[in-house]
Chain A
Amino acid sequence: MKLRSPWLVALALLLLATVPVTMPGYLTSLATLTLVYALLAMSIDILAGYAGRTPLCHGAIFGTATYVVMYFVTTAGGNPWLALPLGLLAALAVSLVFAALAVRTSGVYFLLLTLALGMIVWGVCQRWTSVTGGENGLRGNARPAVLADPIVFYYFVLVVVLSAAFVMWRFVRSPFGLSLKGIRESESRMRSLGYDTTRHLLVGFLFSGLMAGLSGVLYAWFNSFVSPSTVALAQSVKGLLMVIVGGVGTLFGGFVGAAVIIVLENVVSSFTERWSMVLGVLFVLTMIFAPEGIVGKLRSFLARRRRR
């Protein structure tokens, strides 16, 4: 497939590349956080948008990687770079367990099962105080020294997230990605065509989990703090809302969704502590009025105007 709007992509890249100049200081770190969450949202979209399986466990996978990095660097005193593969490995291991259990289900059952599995991770992080620090969490700088400067870190995250986005884009357009789409449309037909749908979903899940883990590692380096709320359901919900706002099945919509939610979170948090309430209201309103997402809504609105 050809890129339909090369100019738009170029403009977006230019805007992203000039962030430290146009939005210095605190705003740069906000942009870094947005990129980290965009990666999480895209990883969720692989399952929700392409495989047609809406997961509620990615906060847990993301948070597991964050916990592993924080524990390895701050408590065990390990090398921050070595923490990267360890975090990814942990995310893969957790996704493997989740996937093995969940890929045979679909629809609401898949959602419920992944929700319950994610909650278990949260419960373990909450109670396994000797390792996770319980409610207090783990604190300390886990970022490699080379990336200490916020601007350097921003560019590092930008390059990592864009490369990951490119890999994911290739992934969903590959024959394998198309087979996931086929499973979304009709699993029974794909199976009768000779596809091992369970294994395809398993691989799709693992890839999605790996990407969620990568964003979790970046988050650990960014935030220098992890607590049970990082792996909580609200995290998965936030990621999923970003996907829905950006448009399910659009992949790069994750950038838009993440930007909208992160900016909103910051604006709302400066006025009130009731962010969780706003998130809930947002969810309810989106489900009732714009289930195809804000981007999808805008697109259909524009299409209607163009036709006129």
Chain B
Amino acid sequence: MSSTLLQLFNSFTFAALLFLVASGFTLIFGLMRIVNLAHGAMYLMGGYVAYFAATASGSFMLGLLAAIVAVALLGLVEQSLLRFVKGNELRQVLLTLGLALMLNDAALVLFGGDTFSVPTPPWLRGPVEMFGIFYPKYRLFVLSVGVAVFFGLWLLMHRTRLGALIRAGVDDSETVEAMGINIRLVFVATFMLGMALAGIAGALGGAFLSLYPTADSEILVYSLAVVIIGGRGSLAGAAVGSLAVALLSTFGQVWFPELSYFVIFGPMALLLAFRPLGLFGRVT
């Protein structure tokens, strides 16, 4: 019983991390129609930057901040490269794929092939007792960050001017531009926001999943699964998808340790047979 509860908690915290990665991915995918395959590499970069900044400064929060800034800046570079292939979806995807290869290799040169874990601050170390089990404080912290980001993003998209501009720009960017708004700036801001989320996820994930050279592909395939299940551009879809993928992979790893990838894939396949655009996907 208590071990099932523990797995359940693990799923929730893993889902929160997945949501951080996938929300940025789905934001960029849904709003700007760009499939950013460099997202996993950005996550890993964020993790490495957080590790080195946090160990150098001794502050976890500084590391987190450094990761956000560094990955958002990398996003700016990527966004300006993507401008060359504007309007052609396939060329955009393949360009981000090339970037992913470059970033991954650059990470190997800069940080080596060793495994790192971002050091957590003292106030997040150790367990807390709840429902009769001891659970690491840090994982609960990740869970709360995930939930906070979900509500923050929802408010941003539906209750602020920037959110309204983003949504309007998706529907008809020409009209928005004709009203005197610099839509390109809005999209750059969206892209950097998505990247900043990847940076946060890298820093947080770097502390409990640890960082190693192939971590980017693993997190990318998880977030792809999340977006495929949830449907593109939908925050609720990303949340539900993250939860589904996290539950499947956590329990899958316990029950079928060698084939845990298969366990995510089965339900995803079933879902696709009935809803090719995902749970919350709409035809656009």
Contacts and interface: CB of A to CB of B under 8 A. Distances in A.
A280 interface: yes
Nearest to A240: B94
Interface string A285-301: 00110010000000000
A95 to B, nearest CB: 14
Interface stretch (B16-24, B189-197, B261-269): B261-269
A276 to B, nearest CB: 4
A276 B105 contact: yes
Interface residues of A, number: 41
Interface in A233-289: 233-234, 237, 240, 244, 274, 276-277, 279-284, 287-288
Main secondary structure of the interface of B (DSSP, over half): helix
Given A117-B265, A124-B262, A277 B94 contact: no
Contacts of B33: 108
B98 A287 contact: yes
B35 interface: yes
Given A111-B35, A128-B258, A120 B98 contact: no
B101 A124 contact: no
Given A101-B269, A288-B95, A123 B261 contact: yes
Nearest to A48: B90
Interface residues of B, number: 45
B272 interface: yes
Contact of B262 (A109, A111, A120, A280): A120
A122 B218 CA distance: 10
Contact of A120 (B85, B95, B102, B261): B261
Contacts of A276: 101-102, 104-105
Nearest to A237: B97
A280 B100 contact: yes
Contact of B224 (A115, A130, A234, A284): A115
A113 B268 CA distance: 10
Contacts of B261: 119-120, 123-124, 127
Contacts of B156: none
B101 A287 contact: no
B110 to A, nearest CB: 12
Contacts of B85: 287-288, 291
B272 A101 contact: yes
B98 A280 contact: yes
B81 A288 contact: yes
B277 to A, nearest CB: 8
B228 A116 contact: yes
User: Residue among A97, A123, A232, A234 with the most chain B CB within 10 A?
Assistant: A123
A89 to B, nearest CB: 20
B99 A284 contact: yes
Given A277-B101, A287-B95, A130 B269 contact: no
A158 interface: no
Given A120-B261, A123-B218, A274-B109, A112 B35 contact: yes
Interface in B84-126: 84-85, 88-91, 93-95, 97-106, 109
Interface in A78-103: 97, 101
Nearest to A288: B84
A127 B258 contact: yes
B263 to A, nearest CB: 10
A128 B217 contact: no
A277 B102 contact: yes
A54 B102 CA distance: 21
Identify the 3 closest CB pairs spanning chains A and B, nearest first.
A283-B98, A280-B101, A280-B102
27 contacts: A101-B269, A101-B272, A101-B273, A104-B272, A108-B33, A108-B90, A111-B93, A112-B224, A113-B272, A116-B224, A116-B225, A119-B221, A119-B261, A120-B221, A124-B261, A127-B257, A127-B258, A233-B217, A237-B97, A277-B101, A279-B98, A280-B100, A280-B102, A280-B104, A287-B84, A287-B95, A291-B91
Given A127-B258, A274-B105, A280-B100, 18 more contacts: A97-B269, A101-B272, A108-B90, A111-B90, A111-B93, A115-B37, A120-B264, A120-B265, A122-B217, A237-B97, A276-B105, A280-B101, A280-B105, A281-B98, A281-B102, A282-B98, A288-B84, A291-B91
Interface of A: 54, 97, 101, 104-105, 107-109, 111-113, 115-117, 119-120, 122-124, 127-130, 232-234, 237, 240, 244, 274, 276-277, 279-284, 287-288, 291
Interface of B: 33, 35, 37, 81, 84-85, 88-91, 93-95, 97-106, 109, 217-218, 220-221, 224-225, 227-228, 257-262, 264-265, 268-269, 272-273, 276
